[in-house]
Amino acid sequence: MNTRYKSILATCLLAFSASAGMAQAETKVTFWHSFSKASGEAIDEIIANFEAANPDIDIEGEYIGNYNDIVAKLQAAIPANRAPDAVIMEVTRYGLFADRGVLLDLTTYLDADPLKDDLFDFAREVGVYEGKNYIVPFNSSTPVFYVNTDLLKQAGYDDVPEMKSWAQVEEVAQTVTDALGGDGTYGMVAPGQFTRWGLIMDNDSDLIDSVSGEILIDAPRTIEAYQWMASLVHDKKLASPDSVADESKGKELFTQGKAALMFDSTGSYGGLKSAMGDNLAVLPMPCNVVCRVPIGGAGIGVLSTAEKDVQDAAYKFMSFAASAESNAIWFAATGYMPINKQTAEQPLAIDALANKPGIDVAIGQLDFAKGRPRPPVVTWMRATEYDMWQAMALGQRDVTETLTEFAASTRQEAERIAR
């Protein structure tokens, strides 16, 4: 074959190879999430497993920050046409984006997916806003009560005492502070926002009624709950003020042995257990007036601006992530609750339940767990609550006055959004 024909043949083969490569090109899905450390490793494993089973789909997972960071960065990315294809959305905040048409209605996908029959009712419900599915559940949680048993022993306790009411919690926190406070140790960590909501609920109130949408920020039992929580920091000095403005400081104090008690998400279990080992005990949340806890966590949503093939690929990944096999990886590594009815039958889940004491506490609370409201005003309310809490906890403002004004502002914002 002469040189000219060899050149023509090589050109044709190159063109054919390029064409074949294009036909097999990956569908790329940019996925924003909020998972780092142990949970980041678990989500990476799930992504890798999905890509191995679906070599034509590339899931580009990107750690963006916490739930607040995701909301802020998504709001900035949308007008700049830099939004991802799929995103983790906290269960009370996605309503804002669903209401504005940012998130794709996934009802048709989910109705055709056998997965829907495997999801627990609570998990399926968290994705429903105004009768349509906008997120597929992934990480679900309730708050739980963590105890540093070593500090309790140093304070004179032989065993973990009963702490089913606020009074009992406060008594233990006071004992630890009296015994160890000279070394800069606190009885407890100031409650973070998720657990503040939980403490309000176990005082038989709420921030916003999940059914009627009524604003309850200034309800008597809500005010009572904030008065108690703020008093732990400013008046009684049982909780460190450092964790009021920065919730991550509280977890540092707890894992470093500088605080004995901490209300936090069950999703923190994996990291806490790794850091503290046998010194960690997990209790249910106290039932001050009633036994009630909020359901937290997040699900995965798809952006309505993504191309149809990308939307299809994104949903395929979301369904895989919610499968029993993937959910067992997630549950065992993090402590987030199983969302799939078949998860408990998976070897990883069986092993975790048998060998990780306390990982099942949140599951036991499901009998009295309650979903929270998700209309658009909740995103504004939650962002604003941080400043309100800081002012109350640090003694800068009166609790009743602050919550009365906050409730009025929230009602005005809800009306503004509705117009």
Instruction: For 143-293+376-418, give the CATH class.
Output: alpha beta
Residue 396's CB: how many other CB atoms inside 10 A?
A: 10
Residue range(s) occupied by CATH 3.40.190.10 in the chain: 27-140+296-370, 143-293+376-418
DSSP per-residue string spanning 186-220: EEEPPP-HHHHHHHHHTTT--SB-TTT--B-TTSH
- Decide: helix, strand or coil at residue 326: helix
Q: Which residues contact 285 (CB under 8 A, 6 or more apart)?
A: 142, 143, 144, 145, 195, 198, 199, 202, 263, 293, 365
Predicted local confidence at residue 265, as pLDDT: 97
The pLDDT of residue 24 is 52
CATH 3.40.190.10 applies to domain 27-140+296-370: yes
Q: What is the DSSP string of 133-152?
A: E--EEEEEE-EEEEEEHHHH
C-alpha–C-alpha distance, residues 27 and 56, integer Å: 6
The region that residue 285 occupies, defined by phi over 0 for left and psi between -120 and 50 for alpha, beta otherwise, is beta
Q: CA–CA separation, 326 vs 87, rounded Å?
A: 18
Mean pLDDT by 10 residues, the chain (419 residues): 43 41 70 96 98 97 97 96 97 96 98 97 95 97 98 98 97 98 95 98 97 96 98 97 94 97 97 96 98 97 98 98 98 98 98 97 96 95 98 98 98 94
pLDDT at 183: 87
